[in-house]
Chains A and B, each alone.
Chain A
C-alpha cells in the first residue's frame, strides 16, 4: 500500500485519480494548487507524488524543483496535457521521475506508479543481479541463466529482460517498455512489442516447467514466479 499525493487542480480528474488509487488499496490525498501541494509534499512523507504540469499559484515543474531543492526525493510522476515533444525532457530535467501525457489509461498510470515505488531510492542501492524463480540476470557479467542453463541474449533482449526483472511482480505496459527499453516516446499501432516478448519467452520459458513471463490482458506483461 502506498501513500500517494495527487496535486491536480481539475476537481473531476483529481476525484477520478483519488478514487481509482483508493480502490487499488493506496491512500491518496489531493491538493488543488501548487503552493498547498508543495506544502503537503514537504510535510506528508508520501511514497509517490502525482503532479499535474499546469497548476494555479505555482507551476507543477516549479513544485518539483522546490521539492528537490529542499532535499526531498519522493518519486514524482508528471501528468501533462501539453504533450509537446520537449515537454517530457523539461519535466524530467526539473526533477520528475516519470512522465505521462493526458489522456492516459488508468492501467498505464497504475503500472507506472508501481514501477516508481519499486525504484531504488539511491544509486548505491542498484542491484547487480536480479532473480525471479530460477532465472538469474547478472548485469555485471551481462549473463542470463535459468537453472543450470546459460541463455544467450541479444543486447536488446537483455535490456528487455532487465527492465522486466527490475519490476518483477509488477505489470509493465507496452508503452513503458517502448520508453525504457527502446527509448521511443510514441505508440506503434501494431503488436511489435508482443513479438519481442514472445521471442524472449521462447528463450527463457520454452522447455521449462513453470512459465515466468506472463501476459496481463489489457495491461501489459509481468515477470513473476507463480510457483511460490
Chain B
C-alpha cells in the first residue's frame, strides 16, 4: 500500500474532506448572499437619484420651458461626476446631453421604465469605450424626450471588489481548513501509528515495551494509560508463568533425579520381593510428593491468573475460622500445643471460603513447623478484626519469628530458610498465601511479636453493593457486626 492510499484511507482524511466540503458550501452561500444584497442596495440608490433628478428637470421644464431645461442640463452635464443626460426633439435630434452613443431603442420607448444600457460618454471616452448605466426616459410635452441615468461603474467596481474579497476569503478559509485538518490528522495518525508500532514490537516478544504517554491527558493519553495497565497485567501474568516454569525446571529436577537414582539402585542392588517392594514404596512416596509440589505450583499459578470478582462471595468469617480451628485443634493438641480463636461473632468479608481456609491452614501448618517456642507449649491464635474499612485475619504463634530481612523472601516460591530445610514441605505454602491475599486485594504481612510471628491478610468487608444475599444465613444486614 502506498503512503497516499494509506493516507486517504484514514478516518481523519475522510473527516477533513467532509468538513472542507461543508465549509465551502456554507461560505459560497454566504458569498452569494452578501453580493446579491449589496447589489440590490446600490441599485436602489441609483434609482432614487435618477428619479429625483428626473423630477427636478421636469419641474424646470414646466416652469421655464425648453430653454431653461437645456441650460440646466448643459450645466449639470459639465460636472465631472455628472449623471447622464440626453434631451432630444420630436425628430430624435439630440439637443443637449453628455452621451455620445446609445442604443436607439432606449429613446423610442420613452415609457419611464428603468433600463440597463451600454453607452459611450461624450467628450471623455474614445469611440469604442462602452460603459453601463441605469437610465429612465420620459416624453415631455412638445415631443421632447428626456433621458436621465447614472453610470454603474462605481457599483460594478465595488461589487467586483467585494466579490474578489469574498472569493479570496473563501480560498484562504478552505486552504486554512485543509492545513488545519491535515495537521490534526497527521498528529492523530502519528499517535496511532506510534501505538501500532509499539504494539507490534510488544507482539514480537518485547513485553517490557509501553505506549508513550505525552501528558496532554487527551483521549490518546487515556487510551495509552489503559493499554499500559493492561500490558502490565499481561507482563505480570507472563512473568509468573515464566517463574513457574523456571521453578519447575529448577526445583522439580532435584527430586526427579533422586527418584531416578533410587530406582536405578533398586534395580541393581535390591534382593528379593521385599527389597523391590521397599524400593517401589519409596518411589511411590517420592512421586506423591512430586505430585503435591506440582499441584501446589499449578494452584498458585491459577490463583495468580484468576479474576477476583469471579470467585468472591460474602462469607461468614467467624464460621470459616471456627471450622478451620476445629480441623486443626486435635493435631495441635497432639503436638502439645493450644489453639485460640478471637474474632467477633458474625464477622463477614467478601472472599472465597476455600482459598481463605487454605490460607489459614497453610499459616497454621507453618506455625506448627516453625513457630514453637524454645520453652513451653505452642500457642496458635487466630484473630479477626474489622477496622478502617478492612477485615483482617491474623495467625500468630509464640515462636522465634522471622528475621525482618527474610520476611519478604520467604513468600517467594521454593524459598525455605536454612533452619527449616530439615522439615518436610514444598516451600510453596506462603507463596500460595501471598497469591490468595493479592487476589483479595491485599497482601501477606509479617510482623515479629514478642514473642512470636504474626501473619496478617486483609479482606474487603461485605459492602451494601456486594452483599449477594442467599448464600450465608443472616446475610441481610450487610454490615458485619462490630465487636
In the complex, chain A residues whose CB is within 8 Å of the CB of B62: none
Cross-chain pairs A/B with CB under 8 angstroms, 19 sampled? A84-B302, A85-B303, A85-B311, A85-B352, A85-B355, A86-B311, A103-B295, A156-B326, A184-B358, A186-B299, A186-B357, A186-B361, A188-B365, A189-B425, A191-B331, A192-B361, A195-B331, A218-B284, A218-B288
- Choose among A101, A182, A185, A195 the residue that contacts B334 (Cβ–Cβ < 8 A): A195
Question: What residue in chain B is nearest A108 (Cβ atoms)?
Answer: B291
Q: B190 CB to closest chain A CB, in angstroms?
A: 43
Does A26 interact with chain B (Cβ within 8 Å)?
no
Q: Given A105, A156, A182, A184, which contacts B288 in the complex, CB threshold below 8 Å?
A: A105
Q: Which residues of A contact B352 (CB under 8 A)?
A: 85
Asked whether, in the complex, the Cβ of A184 is within 8 Å of the Cβ of B298, the reply is no
Interface residues of A in 16-34 (CB under 8 A from B): none
* Interface status of B399 (Cβ within 8 A of chain A): no
- Chain A residues closer than 8 Å to B326, beta-carbon distance: 156
Inter-chain contact B306/A84, CB cutoff 8 Å: yes
Asked if A118 lies at the interface with its beta carbon under 8 angstroms from chain B, I say no
Contact B331 A103 (CB under 8 A): no
The answer, among A182, A187, A190, for a CB contact under 8 Å with B295, is A187
Nearest 5 CB-CB pairings of A with B: A195-B331, A186-B358, A195-B330, A85-B311, A192-B331
Which one, B285, B323, B330, contacts A196 given CB within 8 A? B330
CB <8 Å contact, A182 and B299: no
**How far is it, in angstroms, between the C-alpha of A199 and the C-alpha of B424 when the chains are bound?**
24
In the assembled complex, A120 has its CB within 8 A of some CB on chain B: no
Residues of B contacting A192 in the complex (Cβ-Cβ under 8 angstroms): 327-328, 331, 361
- Distance of A156 Cα from B326 Cα, bound (Å): 9
Task: With A83-B298, A83-B299, A84-B306 as known contacts, state yes or no: A189 contacts B327, CB within 8 Å.
Answer: no
Which residue of chain A lies nearest to B432 when distances are taken between CB atoms in the complex? A186
Taking a contact as CB atoms under 8 Å apart, the answer to whether A184 and B291 are in contact is no
Q: Which residues of A contact B331 (CB under 8 A)?
A: 190-192, 195
Q: In the assembled complex, which residues on chain B have CB atoms less than 8 Å from the CB atom of A105? A: 288, 291
Which residues of B293-311 have CB atoms within 8 Å of chain A's CB atoms? 294-295, 298-299, 302-303, 306, 310-311
Given A184-B354, A186-B361, check contact A85 B426 (CB 8 Å): no
Nearest chain A CB to B32 CB, angstrom units:
69
**Among candidates A184, A185, A190, A217, residue contacting B368 with C-beta atoms closer than 8 Å:** A190
Residues of A contacting B306 in the complex (Cβ-Cβ under 8 angstroms): 84-85
- A182 near B294 (CB under 8 angstroms)? no
Q: Among the listed B302, B334, B357, which residue makes an inter-chain contact with A184, where contact means beta carbons less than 8 Å apart?
A: B357
Apart from A83-B302, A189-B426, what 7 extra A-B contacts exist at CB < 8 Å?
A86-B310, A103-B294, A105-B291, A182-B327, A186-B357, A196-B327, A218-B288
How long is the Cα–Cα vector from A218 to B289 in the complex, in angstroms? 12
Task: Look across to chain B and name the residue whose beta carbon is closest to the beta carbon of A196.
Answer: B330
Give the docked Cα–Cα distance between A196 and B323 (Å).
Answer: 14
Q: With A and B bound together, what is the CA distance between A191 and B294 in angstroms?
A: 19
**Identity of the chain B residue whose Cβ is nearest the Cβ of A188 in the assembled complex:** B361
B292 within 8 A of A: yes
Task: A103 to B429: give the CA distance in the assembly, Å.
Answer: 19
Instruction: Give chain A nearest CB distance to B350 CB in angstroms.
Output: 15
B59 at the interface (CB under 8 A from A): no
The answer for the CA separation of A218 and B327 in the assembled complex, in Å, is 22
Minimum CB–CB distance for A220 against chain B, Å: 12
Complex CA gap A195/B329 in Å reads: 10
Interface string of B381-416 (1 = CB under 8 A from A): 000000000000000000000000000000000000
Q: How many A-B residue pairs lie within 8 Å, measured between CB atoms?
A: 65
Q: Min CB distance, A180 to chain B, in Å?
A: 14
Specify which chain B residues have a CB less than 8 angstroms from the CB of A187 in the assembled complex: 292, 295
| Residues of B in contact with A (beta carbons under 8 Å apart) | 281, 284-285, 288, 291-292, 294-295, 298-299, 302-303, 306, 310-311, 323, 326-328, 330-331, 334, 352, 354-355, 357-358, 361-362, 365, 368, 424-426, 429
A103 touches B323 (CB 8 A): no
Q: List B contacts of A218 (CB < 8 A).
A: 281, 284-285, 288
CB distance from A6 to the nearest CB of B (A): 21
Complex CA–CA separation, A196 to B330 (angstroms): 7
Chain A: CB-nearest residue to B298? A83
In the bound complex, residues from chain A placing their C-beta under 8 Å from that of B311 are 85-86
Tell me the A103-122 residues at the B interface (CB within 8 Å): 103, 105
Which residues in B have their C-beta under 8 angstroms from that of A156? Answer: 326
CA A49 – CA B407 in complex, angstroms? 48
Contacting residues, chain B, for A191 (C-beta < 8 A) = 331
Measured between beta carbons, the chain A residues less than 8 angstroms from B303 are: 85
Contacts of B284 in A (CB 8 A): 218
> What CA separation (Å) do A83 and B292 show in the bound complex?
14
Chain B residues near A195 (CB-CB < 8 A):
330-331, 334
> How far, in whole Å, are A84 and B365 apart by their CA atoms in the complex?
24
Bound complex: CA of A84 vs CA of B301, how far in Å?
Answer: 10
A33 to B358, CA, bound (A): 35
Interface of chain A residues 186 through 207 with chain B (CB within 8 A): 186-192, 195-196, 199
Q: Given the complex of chains A and B, what is the CA–CA distance between A182 and B328 in angstroms?
A: 12
A174 to chain B minimum Cβ distance, whole angstroms, is: 11
| CB <8 Å contact, B355 and A190 | no
Give Cα distance in the complex from A199 to B328, angstroms.
Answer: 13
The CA-CA distance from A42 to B426 in the complex, in Å, is: 44
Considering residues A85, A105, A218, which has the most beta carbons from chain B within 10 angstroms of its beta carbon? A85
- CB proximity of B200 to chain A, nearest CB, Å: 32
A81 CA to B299 CA, complexed, in Å = 11
CB <8 Å contact, B354 and A189: no
B354 lies within 8 A of A182 (CB) = no
Determine how close the nearest CB of chain B comes to the CB of A213; give it in whole angstroms.
16
Chain B residues positioned under 8 Å from A188 (CB to CB): 361-362, 365
Instruction: Flag A86-113 by CB within 8 Å of B: 1 or 0 each.
Output: 1000000000000001010100000000
Contact of A182 among B302, B323, B330, B429 (CB under 8 A): B323
Please, how many angstroms separate the alpha-carbon atoms of A86 and B352 in the complex?
A: 10
Give Cα A156–Cα B368 distance, bound, in whole angstroms: 22
Contact in complex: B354, A199 (CB < 8 Å)? no
For B354, list chain A residues within 8 Å (CB).
85, 184-186
* Cα distance, A158 to B438, chains bound together (Å): 37
Instruction: Enumerate chain B residues within 8 angstroms of A196, measured Cβ to Cβ.
Output: 327, 330
* Residue ID in chain A nearest B429 by CB atoms: A189
